[in-house]
Structure 1
Amino acid sequence: MSIEVLDPRFDAEPPYWRELRARAGLRADWAWEVLRQQAWCARTPWALAVLLDGSRPRGMVGAAWVGSRTRRHRFVVSRRGGGIGGLDLRAPGSSSFPSWWFADAGTDGGVRRLLSEYLPAMRRLFGPGLKGALIRQLPEAAVPAVAGRWRWVRETEPIARIDTEAFGCRDDWLETVSRRRRAHLRKVFAQVEGDEGLAVEFLRGEQADAVEVAELLRINEVKHRDVPIVPLPQFVGYLRRLLAQPDVFVLSYRDVETRRLLGATTVYDHPQWPLARSWSAVEVEDGGRPDLYFHMYGELVRWAISEGKRGVVLGKKMIQVKTSLGAELTPQYAAAIPLR
């Protein structure tokens, strides 16, 4: 078994990448052209390690190099991480799924292989300056594999998802939520769907205007500045490449008269569990419509049912709202692993 470490900024797409993406169920944010743009827009260098059995890929791991030169207002400049730092194992576009996949992952999701194969290989590559790794999106079954002396393991925000497999229509889903929430949703659906001045559409990403969507998404990003490192704004170049992927959709809300985009969420398609990634809407006082956020969930459920999906992944944040909509929560953990 060998390991090939790639930098999407400089390295060409490997001939095996599209097949590997399909086998691993990696969504649109893992398309090579999207990875390349994301890597150039990042604060830190990003390395993709692929485990190969001959020429056949058997696993992959994505991680950012976080070193002493990392700053919230500085962008990546070096070809590869260097000096003293650590690896932050995180997915490139969404925090709802791990940044690794193994063909024979086992019950721990492949975490033991991260420890026994991946991290030693990266230590050989980066040298003694690699002091540790932060592994995010750990499943609960992997916690025993990472527990130990000098290791820090904590539960993080859970992932919400709505299972739609048993539903034949949106009303079937509504019957599973509380009476109070059901009455509220029916009022919202009637209000939005009766608004003749509002167009609601499920579009392929390529039909959306990347500049328009980026401007809208930045409204929501301004609200979430309560974290240690403020998220970077949506870059149009990244969003343009993402929306061009055949497995990306946009649920949009548009004013019929002015043609202004009032609300939108991006959806990364998947054979079983599509992901609702980014949502934003114009505030009512600025010309938006009330309760589009709740209507959006109804449309996601309707779409997932019509497309024969197992369900839809809603990601993190707003957990109380999402559970009131019938979402199930999957716990996630993070582990800091020192390397000596």
Structure 2
Amino acid sequence: MKILLIKQTSLGDVLHMTPVIRALKKWKADCQIDVVTDKRALGILENNPYINKLYVLDIYKYENEIFKSPSLFFSTIREFISHISEVRKESYDIAMDLQGLERSIIFLYLCHAKKKYAKGKWFGVKSNYYKDINAIEGLISFLKFIDCPDDGTDLDYFLPNTIEADFNKKIEHIKYSINSNFNIDNEYIVFSPFSRWDTKDLSVNKSREIIKEIQKLKDIQIILSATSDYDKECLEIVKGFENVLNSSGLFNLPELAYLIKKSKGMVTVDSFPMHTGCAFQKPLIAVFGPTSEVRVGPIAKNSETIRVENLECARCYKRKNCHNNHVCIENIDAKLLAERLIKKI
């Protein structure tokens, strides 16, 4: 049996797909599972033993360049079509678009497959429309179409066999070329205060408040995790603190996953690091404001959420331009958060 899965972005969504992949492989051990995804998700999927082939796109490049100039428009279209042509070389028994967007459904429509299924509502294919259930459970519900037993909601994040050596090598590089004081303790907490949405991010002041409350309760190292876009904010957050490290922009996806795997626990906003912590079932407190913990909140063992209660504007799903002073995030009880985290670890 040959199965095609389409899940291009975002990183957390790609990780959510892994219980589906595992269930399919346990259902039909000799099946071939191919996946259409974005290159940024390679660090999540390339070591997955259940996957046979990855069709790798560059979605953000296409979205950023397609309308910049006529030449970029046509070159982008040609490159995108070449990926579709590559997928069309195979004939599949089952194809599932687990993304449900225009740029993903085109692969489903044009691939050669006997049975096709799509997330959302689309003409001509059997659709799976779900709302207000956890995203992982929603993806697993696709398995009912083909009478495949599900294998639970645990996420799979397979790291390369060399990850420990790779990570240690990166630490040595950081010490000798970037920051000689970058020493990771045996026990530490990962703190991830930023995401791809402005409205989900903790402010510098709120982040510092959370760190202070944690340090009042336990003498443990805190490692700040973020992309390089947040270097400035991270430097402000760690300023003046003892035993708080800034790792913004230092680690690739597998290295970040390894950092989280080896941690004692996490504080995080609704972001990819949150889902990574769930994959390794780390003790975890996730801060929620504009998004719904019912839809995308952590459901792994040892994880829980915290939010400001009784706000009319909660779960507004605005990515930017909050008109209510960011109260759903800024009014988070830092003391309560710290107490709940330390109790868990």
TM-score past 0.5 threshold: no
Name the structure with the higher strand share: 1
TM-score (norm 2): 0.30
TM-score (norm 1): 0.30
Name the structure with the higher helix share: 2
Higher relative contact order (CA 8 A, sep 6+): 1
